[in-house]
Amino acid sequence: MAQMLGDVVALLAMKHRRAPLPVSSALLRTLSIRGFPENLAELESFARRLLFLGDERMLLAELRRGPAPIAFRPENSQGPSGIALGQRTETERGQ
């Protein structure tokens, strides 16, 4: 994914006649913790923001204060019976 992000940044830089920006290890580390963009459109949007901001510090700050990754949100945690909270079994619905 890191290579793909660098490639998208380079392609967008050529398309918009801007100097390509390197993707730093700090940005990659933060993305690996917070979650990489999930599809190509999100990846391109992220790369475009990086390129046009011209500085990754704003993106890093945004990523660090953003919402927790989906895997760590309380509503996605498993209940005591192994069923995600908020879900009910067929027998519970009928009662």
51: which 2 tokens? 């390129």
Q: Which H helix or E strand runs over 64?
A: helix 56-65
| 70, HSE (Cβ side, Cα atoms, 13 Å) | 4
How many domains is the chain partitioned into structurally? 1
Of residues 69 and 64, the one with the higher pLDDT is 64
Has residue 90 been placed in a domain?
no
Given a contact cutoff of 8 angstroms between Cβ atoms, the answer to whether 28 and 57 are in contact is no
Q: Which residues contact 62 (CB under 8 A, 6 or more apart)?
A: none
Judge contact between 89 and 95, C-beta under 8 A.
no
Q: Classify burial at 26, counting beta carbons within 10 Å of its beta carbon; exposed 0-12, middle 13-18, buried 19 or more.
A: exposed
pLDDT tens digit string along 13-22?
999 998 888 8
Per the domain annotation, does 89 fall within a domain?
no
Owning domain of residue 61: 2-69
pLDDT tens, position by position, 8-59: 999 999 999 988 888 999 999 888 888 878 888 888 998 999 998 888 998 8
Let me know if residue 83 belongs to a domain. Answer: no
pTM across the whole model: 0.61
Asked whether residue 26 is domain-assigned, the answer is: yes
SS3 86: coil
**Is 53 domain-assigned?**
yes
